[in-house]
Amino acid sequence: MTTASIDTARSVLSDVFGYDSFRGEQEAVVEHVIAGGDAVVLMPTGGGKSLCYQIPSIVREGTGVVVSPLIALMADQVAALENLGVRAAYLNSTLDLERVREVERQYLAGELDVLYMAPERLVLPRTQDFLARGRIALFAIDEAHCVSQWGHDFRSDYLGLHVLAERFPDTPRVALTATATRATHAELTERLSLQDARHFVASFDRSNIEYRIVPKDGPRAQLLEFITTEHPGDTGIVYCLSRRSVDQLAEALRAKGIDAVPYHAGLPQEVRAANQGRFLREDGVVVVATIAFGMGIDKPDVRFVAHVDLPRSVEGYYQETGRAGRDGLPSTAWMAYGLGDVVSQRRLIESGEGDEAFKRRSMSHLDAMLALCETVDCRRVQLLRYFDEESGPCGNCDTCKTPPQTWDATVDVQKLLSAIIRLDRERDQRFGSGQIVDVLRGKANDRSTSSRHEELSVWGVGAERTEAQWRAVIRQVLARGLLQSHGDYGVLVLGEGAGPVLRGEETVFLREDPVSKRGSRSRRAG
């Protein structure tokens, strides 16, 4: 790298983009790619990945070809670059033939700095032949984690991108993603043939985001209180699991005077585009969405991201919450979760597509997410550790601000596990949490009567605890893997690690649960 080209890069940074200095790893990446090297860039959402390929595209001779899965955003991305005077265009299925011809002409004439296209187009030999007739400055593979079959955004067309290495061995390639587990990193390096690339790994800490996870207790009211007391009039995103709950929740928020709009794949294209457009352009719009919403959305002043259903994985949670506070100002990642979430997520995995190995991976992703929910330590430490980054207590998460009280729940957990064993061994029956709690509390119902559960030694051994308290115990024990929940009915079976607890070799400390505490108070009062 000559000093001349780093100087050129710096003047592009200030003259074209209007920034005084590079951020974090940007300069190193830009320098390496301009010099013709391959790069893998792991940077959190909002970290500034775009400049890492845009500046080299401008500085190097030829056109930077950018692969992005987000057709819907290409027009916006190109318009933003054109506004800055960068010669940019895109090729995708939304263009008519005439426009395609014009873009192709511009490319061949060397009139483009940046050319966006979807992976399904780039993997076509026809496209590669065409590109070979012009001058390619570099390939940028955005959202590179989409190549991971285990990840949450797999796109099969990404798999074909490894041919770029063979077809264009002298053209630098830079792969970028905000998904940074060691496994994803290794997988994308291999699948994209980037073994010789230099790796740039930024810190994944988003220190301006306050993480908060509360036990579910009427999530709609909880969410409403959170928004109205902490973020009135702010821009935000609320994630739900199903389309139906998106529609209902958006409606409910609107009824309370919040400017909420729904977004999910089941809505007509025009409605989705209109709602996304309002969110991007106006202030204070709250999008209620499934995870179909958000990838590639660059709105700097999103003040909160709320989850009213449990995300499938820590990666998903991190990406979704990462859409808050890209401008660096204080923002909140708020989530409510309950036992029902655990059961429904497991059911989704079990009944979903994919082979056994895939389902096992999905289960372990879910387990890691649960561990984050139930941790008594700093959320950020736990979150960053998942991305192999060590850090200290942050002082800006709920567990740091109000350290959870813990209690020795060993005896209760033993009762719970024993009840499950007794029902299984003596009655050959497996139940979900509802029936188990009734057995523990000695509360007769039709099933317990017909199956003579009252005769079991575990009948009523947990009568001193409320139903809410037992549910909190079950949730936390599930999170630790001492129990597992299976099938449509969420039947509970013993997990690894149950043995030592049952034998009294290990103690179990659980966190005090605000929901169940309230439950016990009202019970005493009643």
Both tokens of 369, joined, read 């997410």
Nearer to Zn ion, 190 or 512 (CB): 512
Q: How many residues bind ligand ADP (CB under 6 A)?
A: 15
Both tokens of 19, joined, read 């920034």
Of 85, 79, 86, which Cα lies nearest the Cα of 54?
A: 86
380 binds Zn ion (CB under 5 A): yes
300 binds ligand ADP (CB under 6 A): yes
Q: Measure the CA–CA gap between 518 and 317, rounded to whole angstroms.
A: 28
- Per CB under 6 A, the segment of 19-27, 203-211, 374-382, 479-487 that binds ligand ADP is 19-27
Q: Measure the CA–CA gap between 49 and 161, rounded to whole angstroms.
A: 20
* Shortest CB 26 distance to ligand ADP, Å: 6
383 binds Zn ion (CB under 5 A): no
Residue 260's H or E segment, with its range, is strand 260-263
What's the distance, CA 221 to chain centroid?
24
Q: Which does 50 bind (CB under 5 to 8 A by kind): ligand ADP, Zn ion, none?
A: ligand ADP
Q: Measure the CA–CA gap between 440 and 451, rounded to whole angstroms.
A: 15
Nearer to ligand ADP, 47 or 519 (CB): 47
Q: Measure the CA–CA gap between 241 and 347, rounded to whole angstroms.
A: 13
372 binds Zn ion (CB under 5 A): no
* Shortest CB 18 distance to ligand ADP, Å: 8
Q: Going by DSSP bridges, is the β-strand pair 88-91/114-117 parallel, antiparallel, or unpaired?
A: parallel
Q: Which does 260 bind (CB under 5 to 8 A by kind): Zn ion, ligand ADP, none?
A: none
* Shortest CB 17 distance to ligand ADP, Å: 7
76 binds ligand ADP (CB under 6 A): no
Both tokens of 484, joined, read 């597992």
Q: Select from 12, 180, 297, 394 the one that contacts Zn ion (CB under 5 A).
A: 394
Q: How many CA atoms lie within 13 A of 223 on its CB side?
A: 27
Longest dimension (CA), the chain: 86
User: Which positions from 239 to 278 touch ligand ADP by CB under 6 A, shown as an x/- string?
Assistant: ----------------------------------------
376 binds Zn ion (CB under 5 A): no
Q: Select from 1, 5, 16, 19 the one that contacts ligand ADP (CB under 6 A).
A: 19
- Please identify which residue in the block is written with the tokens 């995103």: 237
Nearer to ligand ADP, 47 or 119 (CB): 47
* Shortest CB 503 distance to ligand ADP, Å: 50
Both tokens of 363, joined, read 């289960």
Residues with Cβ within 8 Å of residue 266, at least 6 apart in sequence: 243
Q: Measure the CA–CA gap between 510 and 157, rounded to whole angstroms.
A: 45
Nearer to ligand ADP, 21 or 93 (CB): 21
Q: Measure the CA–CA gap between 443 and 429, rounded to whole angstroms.
A: 17
Nearer to Zn ion, 96 or 390 (CB): 390
Pair 210, 287: CB distance under 8 Å: no
* Shortest CB 219 distance to Zn ion, Å: 23
Both tokens of 339, joined, read 């036992």
Q: Which residues, 36 to 75, sit near ligand ADP by CB under 6 A?
A: 43, 45-51
Q: Select from 81, 122, 378, 413 the one that contacts Zn ion (CB under 5 A).
A: 378
Q: Which residues, 313 to 342, sit near ligand ADP by CB under 6 A?
A: 326
Q: Measure the CA–CA gap between 443 and 431, rounded to whole angstroms.
A: 15
Query: Residues in the site for ligand ADP, rule: CB under 6 A?
Result: 19, 22-23, 26, 43, 45-51, 298, 300, 326
Q: Which residues bind Zn ion (CB under 5 A)?
A: 378, 380, 394, 397, 400
